[in-house]
Amino acid sequence: MTEPSRTEADPIYTKPLPHPNDPETGPFWEGLRERRLRMPRCSACGYVRWPPARLCPECLSPDAVWEDLRPTGELWSYIVYHRAFHPGFKGDIPYAVGRVSLDDGPSLIAQVTPPLEGIFVGARVEGVFEDVTPEVTLLRWAVVDGGRPSGQEAH
Ligand SMILES: [Zn+2]
């Protein structure tokens, strides 16, 4: 008896993964698992430290509190990968990676969900939380409402 042919995608995640127990970024990954976007805000000056750092780059204070930010913003720019720089991404090409200016301050780089035709600089985006393993959830950016700022109608 032969093995049945496989029709579903390989369930094993083959792309590089973050370290969710890293002491500096752990709360960020923990937040994504809970469908929350969390970043450390400096207790002394209010600056949101992204990427996380032991000392505030603005005032050098070591004190910070992790707080929730809205997972929404505007696509500042993006690139489209036509080659896989890691074998795990071969099935995804071409795919887009974008830098988003969050409505609550800092910028965050992540993959932008297809279709590529709907992605443009200045598009309104929101975070999509994708569970890639039982321990790791990643954030993706998705263009919302055709990417137009709220209040503007399509023509
Ligand atoms: Zn500070």
pLDDT tens-digit readout, 120-149: 999 999 999 999 999 999 999 999 988 787
In whole angstroms, give the CA distance from residue 76 to residue 123: 8
What is the number of structural domains in the chain?
A: 2
CATH number where 152 lies: 2.40.50.840
CB-based burial, 118-145: b 16+ in 10 Å, e otherwise: ebeeebbbbbbbeeeeeebbbbbbebee
Q: Is the confidence at residue 154, as pLDDT, over 60?
A: no
- pTM as predicted: 0.84
Q: How far is the CA of 95 from the centre of ligand 1 (A)?
A: 36
* 63-73: pLDDT as tens digits: 999 999 999 99
Give the per-residue pLDDT at 152: 58
Residue 94 scores a pLDDT above 70: yes
Asked whether residue 10 is assigned to any structural domain, the reply reads no
Q: Indicate the DSSP class of residue 48.
A: B
| Cα-to-centroid distance, 72 and ligand 1 (Å) | 24
- Looking at the fold, whether 153 and 79 belong to one and the same domain comes out as yes
What is the average pLDDT across 1-14?
Answer: 57
Shared domain for 61 and 100, answered yes or no, is: no
Amino acid identity at 97: V
Which residue segment(s) compose the domain that 57 sits in?
17-69
Has residue 31 got a pLDDT over 90? yes
> Distance between CA atoms of 108 and 13, rounded to whole angstroms?
23
pLDDT of residue 46 exceeding 90 = yes
Tell me whether residue 86 is in a domain. Answer: yes
Tokens, residue 88: 């795990």
pLDDT band at 153 (very low <50, low <70, confident <90, very high): low
The CA 44 to ligand 1 mean position distance, Å, reads: 5
